[in-house]
Amino acid sequence: MKRWRYASNDMTTIPSPDVELQTTRERLDLALEASELGTFYCPLPFGALEWNAKCKEHFWLPPDAEVSIDQFFDIIHPDDREHTRLAIESTLNERQRYDIAYRTVSPEGKIRWIRAIGRGFYDETGRPTRFDGITVDITSSKEIEQELRHQQQLYEEIARRLEFLNGISEETRELTSPAEVMSIISERLGLFLGVNRCAYAVVHLDEDGFTIMDNFTDGCGSIVGDFRLSGFGREIYSDLRAGKTIVINDVDTHLAPNDGAEALKVVDVRALICCPLIKKGKLAALMAVHHMQPRVWKTNEITLLEEVVERSWNYIERVYSNLALTESELRFRSLVGATALIVWQADKHGNILSEVAGWETFTGQTRAQYSGRGWMDAVHPDDRGHMGDSWKQSDPPGLKFQATVRIRRRDGVFRRMLIIGVPVLDVAGLIREWVGTCTDIEDKLTLEDQRERIIHAERTARTEAERASRMKDEFLATLSHELRTPLSAILGWAQILRDDAGLPPQLQEAAKIIERNARMQAQIIDDLLDMNRIISGKVRLDVQHVELSKIIESSVETVRPAATAKGVRLQPILDGSAGPVSGDPNRLQQVFWNLLSNAIKFTPRGGRVQIILQRVDSHIEVSVADNGEGLAPEFLPYVFDRFVQADSSSTRGHGGLGLGLAIVRQLVELHGGSVHAESPGPHQGATFTVSLPLLPIHAHPPAERRHPKSLPEKPRPLESLPRLDGVRVLVVDDEPDARALSCHLLTAQGAEVQMADCAAEAFEMLRKNPPSVLLSDIGMPREDGISLIKRIRQLPAEQGGAVPAIALTAYARSEDRTSAVLAGFQMHVAKPVETGELLAVVASLVGRV
């Protein structure tokens, strides 16, 4: 029997192929999920595509979405579709590796960069049966790549720019002519930017004329010579004077023919950058690059030109400084040769051993007298010790000796001299001798003393002027307060009497006269404050598009009652198409109101006042003409001066301070216009003409804004105002008349009024029983209204801390209004106040309007 072997194995522990495949797939899915990879399995021909959730996420699809090949291409960015399609075809037809990057786009337009890697699978005949692979979101790396590319371009641009700037700095370093400097810079900048012309210009003192010193040209003509900025249109002129860089990509689309376009085309300019240089608040120089064809300028080109124009100025200033230094050195050498500058030489102990001709001429000492240390005899006795101390301090080798001492001139007069000595060292580094100079500085020091006295006097005068200005402002504020306070009571009670139907007509007429005169006094106060604001530069214009015809019509209606009362006819002749202008409607209305009021004042009963609005060339003219008293020829030059009147005698027939026309001129000039007066002579009438620049017409004018009127409108009757029933008002004023007036007006409208004569009493009343509205004066003894409202605003709301508050005050300056609002008042109403205005303000704060 032959031997045989037997082997066995326990097959129960070996997994089946299906189980092992499932395990492998689960492990693969886990790995793919951890690695943020998407997978795609595409049977061919393309039908339903099998994508995992991550792959669908890459294509902005939900996990349960069905995917087709059309969806695949629809989601890919349109610029990447053809490239992706060709890559898939190449992969399947040529059995190449599929490795491509493309963008997917969400329904909201968001972009995601995807990298896809895969390959085709084929049957035994070589026909592709599947197309499988993975996707990876590479958006972050793409953004980093783009940012790195941008940074690289930026660094290259900066390096190129620095190389250019350093280059022109080196090339101009040794130049001695400003023309040479600008010739080099213009040429280098023109070539660097690839433009047809580059020019540098120095602006004249009038900030309009300018001279082009040199220009680089490439394909166009030279424009070296003199020009005027105003010839290139209002926009360019105003922007350059304001320090704004002009950037025009296409002259035809940027400028109107009459606003600079034609002027630029004459010198072959279709695109340009023009950079101004402002020095000490003035336009000093310009630098421009021109192109003969439209060109979209880059930001780095604009900033480069701005930097070059600044550097060019510095280079030219350096050249001028070097020239001035050279001339100064030449003048100094000539001066030394022409003046008695004393040059001396002494041993190391200060003994004069050789002849010093200048010393002998100045002091009168002979050589025998000044030799050795004899020269010290000419030094003032009080300065000899100082001289010796200065000499000892220069003992360490290499130190310069310097002292100012008094030296007796040959006529016996002591004059201050600056003595400077420089040591000459031997080979051992020890002092061998001294060489130096003596300079008479008496006149120089005297001038310096005078200069210090002048500076001190100027500082004292300036301090005094500033103190006087502050005192003037304080005086005007106090004057306004002291005059407005009684005027408020006068005007308020006059209005109440005027509207009282139960009064006899004579008393009603008397009330109207009192009211009219009170308003005249209030206007005088307003004129004083306005003039002060204008002189001190505190007037701010709210500039907007203004139709002058509407402004003038409003002014005419404002003065019509006064004209009717005096029997003067008003004849407005207004061209509605004349306009618009750029200005502050309130201030312009003030101008025409003043002119019309002035004309009515000086026109006798039965006369007429005519106001004409018309366009004249590029300006709008408004003329106010009357057939009244007229003006003497010798008075015409002074008609717009402050506090000047044609008749200032004690018997003059018209009142006023002489400020109205001065305010008119100042306000018109603030608007860029002018005003002048004409009159054939006394009793022949006068004409005042205001000229304002016409506003350029734009395709899309800004939206019209509504602003409150600055001049009073016709007062509203009290019965037309909202009732104040149930409204509790706390009135705080130290003036009994003012309190009584406010109380009467508010009570008549149904309000419940409490009154306090000081801030302390008002605070306690408010804290115990908070009112609906607080009406408080500002200027009060012991504690003013500003302090009161600040204390109130610190209270809790239930104790009145949030009460609506009105500052009713005779302090009417703009800074007074600002401080009141900042302190906590909601409204500021200046005395004298219109009765209707006061009631309307209270009603608005409690929501009754």
The CA–CA distances, whole Å, from 707 to 542, 576, 835 equal 9, 21, 22
What is the pLDDT confidence band of residue 697, given thresholds at 50, 70 and 90? low
pLDDT computed for residue 649 by the predictor: 40
Query: Which DSSP symbol is given to 368?
Result: H
Arithmetic mean of pLDDT, 182-190: 85
What is the pLDDT confidence band of residue 339, given thresholds at 50, 70 and 90? low
Interval 15-28: pLDDT, tens: 555 555 555 555 55
pLDDT computed for residue 31 by the predictor: 53
In a domain, residue 133? The reply is: yes
CB 199 within 8 Å of CB 290: yes
pLDDT computed for residue 45 by the predictor: 86
- Of residues 703 and 501, the one with the higher pLDDT is 501
Final residue of a structural domain among 294, 323, 352:
323
pLDDT computed for residue 695 by the predictor: 75
Cα 188 from chain centroid?
34
Residues 64 and 451: their CA atoms lie apart, in Å, by: 92
What is the pLDDT confidence band of residue 790, given thresholds at 50, 70 and 90? very high
Only one residue has tokens 């061919």, namely 44
Identify whether residues 584 and 666 lie together within a single domain: yes
CB 822 within 8 Å of CB 785: no
In a domain, residue 168? The reply is: no
The count of domains in the chain is 5
pLDDT computed for residue 406 by the predictor: 92
Residues 174 and 178: their CA atoms lie apart, in Å, by: 11
Identify whether residues 182 and 297 lie together within a single domain: yes
- Which residues have C-beta within 8 Å of that of residue 184, sequence separation ≥ 6? 168, 171, 172, 175
**CATH number of residue 617's parent domain:** 3.30.565.10
In a domain, residue 508? The reply is: no
In a domain, residue 554? The reply is: yes
* pLDDT tops 70 at residue 266: yes
- Residue 168 is encoded by which pair of tokens? 């022109």
Q: How many CB atoms lie within 10 A of CB 304?
A: 21
Residues 585 and 802: their CA atoms lie apart, in Å, by: 35
Identify whether residues 185 and 317 lie together within a single domain: yes
Residue numbers of the domain that contains 387: 341-445
Q: What do you get for the CA distance between the two ends of the chain, in Å?
A: 129
Q: In what order do the strands lie in the sheet with 282-291?
A: 225-228, 209-217, 197-203, 282-291, 271-279, 246-248
What is the pLDDT confidence band of residue 741, given thresholds at 50, 70 and 90? confident
Identify whether residues 785 and 680 lie together within a single domain: no
Residues 710 and 691: their CA atoms lie apart, in Å, by: 21
Residues 237 and 228: their CA atoms lie apart, in Å, by: 9
CB 790 within 8 Å of CB 823: yes
Identify whether residues 246 and 288 lie together within a single domain: yes
- Residue 720 is encoded by which pair of tokens? 């037309």
- Of residues 220 and 721, the one with the higher pLDDT is 220
DSSP character string of 185-222? HHHHHHHHHT-SEEEEEEEPTTSSEEEEEEEEESSS--
Identify whether residues 550 and 604 lie together within a single domain: yes
Residues 479 and 776: their CA atoms lie apart, in Å, by: 20
Identify whether residues 205 and 290 lie together within a single domain: yes
The three-class DSSP label of residue 74 is helix
pLDDT computed for residue 579 by the predictor: 72
Only one residue has tokens 């017409």, namely 697
* pLDDT tops 80 at residue 380: yes
Identify whether residues 135 and 186 lie together within a single domain: no
* pLDDT tops 80 at residue 34: no
Residues 730 and 756: their CA atoms lie apart, in Å, by: 8
Identify whether residues 688 and 728 lie together within a single domain: no
Only one residue has tokens 């307003």, namely 526
Residues 140 and 117: their CA atoms lie apart, in Å, by: 18
In a domain, residue 667? The reply is: yes
pLDDT computed for residue 2 by the predictor: 44
What is the pLDDT confidence band of residue 727, given thresholds at 50, 70 and 90? very high
- Of residues 40 and 185, the one with the higher pLDDT is 40
- Of residues 615 and 398, the one with the higher pLDDT is 615
In a domain, residue 393? The reply is: yes
Using a pLDDT cut of 70, give the percent of the chain over it: 82
Identify whether residues 137 and 181 lie together within a single domain: no
Residues 763 and 55: their CA atoms lie apart, in Å, by: 73
* pLDDT tops 90 at residue 277: no
The CA–CA distances, whole Å, from 625 to 607, 609, 640 equal 11, 6, 16
Residues 189 and 185: their CA atoms lie apart, in Å, by: 6
pLDDT computed for residue 690 by the predictor: 93
3-state DSSP helix/strand/coil % of the chain, to nearest 5: 45, 20, 30
CB 102 within 8 Å of CB 80: yes
Interval 442-483: pLDDT, tens: 888 888 888 888 888 888 777 776 676 666 666 666 666 666
Arithmetic mean of pLDDT, 171-194: 81
* pLDDT tops 60 at residue 247: yes
Name the least confident of 86-95, 325-334, 734-743.
325-334
What is the pLDDT confidence band of residue 708, given thresholds at 50, 70 and 90? very low
Can you give the pTM of this predicted structure? 0.37
The three-class DSSP label of residue 51 is strand
Identify whether residues 120 and 217 lie together within a single domain: no
pLDDT computed for residue 414 by the predictor: 92
Q: Is the dihedral of CA 90, 94, 95, 96 positive or negative?
A: negative
pLDDT computed for residue 650 by the predictor: 35
Interval 833-846: pLDDT, tens: 777 888 888 999 98
Identify whether residues 183 and 79 lie together within a single domain: no
In a domain, residue 162? The reply is: no
Residues 811 and 825: their CA atoms lie apart, in Å, by: 14
Using a pLDDT cut of 90, give the percent of the chain over it: 23
* pLDDT tops 60 at residue 11: no
Average pLDDT score, the chain = 81
In a domain, residue 562? The reply is: yes
Arithmetic mean of pLDDT, 623-652: 73
What is the pLDDT confidence band of residue 118, given thresholds at 50, 70 and 90? very high
Interval 56-85: pLDDT, tens: 999 999 999 889 999 999 999 999 999 999
CB 523 within 8 Å of CB 598: no
Residues 59 and 77: their CA atoms lie apart, in Å, by: 11
Name the least confident of 510-519, 740-749, 762-771, 827-836.
510-519
- Of residues 94 and 479, the one with the higher pLDDT is 94
What is the pLDDT confidence band of residue 86, given thresholds at 50, 70 and 90? very high
For 433-468, letters b (16+ CB in 10 Å) and e give bbebbbbbebeeeeeeeeeeeeeeeeeeeeeeeeee
If you count DSSP H runs as helices and E runs as strands, how many of each does the chain have, helices first? 23, 27
Residues 796 and 783: their CA atoms lie apart, in Å, by: 21
- Of residues 473 and 221, the one with the higher pLDDT is 221
Name the least confident of 379-388, 494-503, 708-717.
708-717
What is the pLDDT confidence band of residue 763, given thresholds at 50, 70 and 90? very high
One-letter-per-residue 3-state SS of 250-262: CHHHHCCHHHCHH
Final residue of a structural domain among 296, 323, 350:
323
* pLDDT tops 50 at residue 653: no
**CATH number of residue 76's parent domain:** 3.30.450.20
pLDDT computed for residue 501 by the predictor: 72
**CATH number of residue 247's parent domain:** 3.30.450.40
* pLDDT tops 70 at residue 640: yes
Q: HSE on the CB side for 327, CA within 13 Å?
A: 7
- Of residues 356 and 414, the one with the higher pLDDT is 414
